[in-house]
Amino acid sequence: MRGLVLVPNAEPVQPRRGEPQWMTALRQAEAEKWATVRLHGDQRRDHLSARTTYILGDTIKWLSDLPPASIHAIVTDQPYGLIEYDEKNQRKLRHGRGGVWRIPPSFDGAKRQPVPRFTILSHDEIMHLHSFFSAIAYSMLRALVPGGHVFIASNPLLSTMTFHAFQDAGFEKRGEIIRLLQTLRGGYKPKGAEKEFHDVSGMPRSCWEPWGMFRKPFAGTIAENLRAWGTGGLRRMSLEQPFKDVIICSPTRGVEKRFAPHPSLKPQRFLRQIVRAALPLGIGIIYDPFAGSGSTLAAAEALGFHAVGTDRDPQYFRMARTAFPQLAALQVPERR
């Protein structure tokens, strides 16, 4: 059929009126990659929608034999102590008994979310963490198309080490996204001596969250890479405004927490801005290697993008089945 591009194991791609040939080729490549990526591996999976798949399994194992240049962008909020997501500490968290997780007291009748105590990590745990992120970064570099971006959440205590691991793996650091948010975390007085040292804090109260932004190197210009792979740049907020590196966004509360009671849930208002920027032409596949409750996948679904996620926690995998459609359907405030 003239003008109809047939894609093996994928839906036919129809050229659009006035669309340049390279754009049609990008959409064809996206369909081909999606047909492969969502079925890759032998792990258990849920096809949450026609555009979204969640895989229950280890990230590095799933990435290890994924065909190179299969993913267009990565957006993730990963575990930062590793130990806080091991079986023992997850069990303690779910029973409200702490472990590495600090369970803050209620404030003004509001139950506050647990937060991992990164300050207690030993030197060996930090070295193990660096090795883990190095392995993840190398796997991501291989899986991404040239010019593909990684947006990775961090915290002020560990961001330097984590970001270096990505640079050592071969990524270009392209800046940091600063999420401004006022929380009740941090600013604690010396434990057991709060009255004696009533005007002393052990550390400052956290008012910001750094997200590292990295790009897989490519040859030629951004324009050439956009035509070849659909990546290399960031989608503007509007014709008048570029994507900005400071985003004001309060902690996740209310209905989102009820949909997805995950201890590290990021709000849709924030995630959708990041996910939208990550695919400059709106073409490609978003990957979240630590998908948790499926919030990144829901953000991609709300924007009409293809997305795949992996996570090895069966409880979060089950949580995503019900949380995903509800998070994706949320109406969020307009970007500023």
What superfamily in CATH does domain 44-85+123-328 come from?
Vaccinia Virus protein VP39 (3.40.50.150)
∠ CA 311-317-321, nearest 5°, is 135
Confidence at residue 257, expressed as pLDDT on a 0 to 100 scale: 87
CA distance 270 to 263: 16
- As annotated, the residues of the chain forming the CATH 3.40.50.150 domain(s) are 44-85+123-328
Confidence at residue 5, expressed as pLDDT on a 0 to 100 scale: 41
pTM of the complete model: 0.86
Mean pLDDT split into 10-residue runs, the chain, 336 residues: 45 87 96 96 96 96 95 90 56 56 46 53 79 93 98 89 94 96 73 89 86 97 98 96 93 85 89 98 97 96 98 94 95 70
* CA distances (Å), origin 152, targets 209, 210, 243, 274: 11, 9, 16, 10
pLDDT tens-place string over residues 260-287: 888 788 999 999 999 999 999 999 999 9
β-pairing verdict for 101-102 and 115-116: antiparallel
Indicate the helix (H) or strand (E) that contains 63.
Answer: helix 59-64
Q: Which of 280, 320, 336 is nearest to 303 (CA)?
A: 280
Residues whose CB is less than 8 angstroms from the CB of residue 334 and which lie 6 or more positions away in sequence, other chains included: none
Confidence at residue 328, expressed as pLDDT on a 0 to 100 scale: 96
CA distance 254 to 237: 26
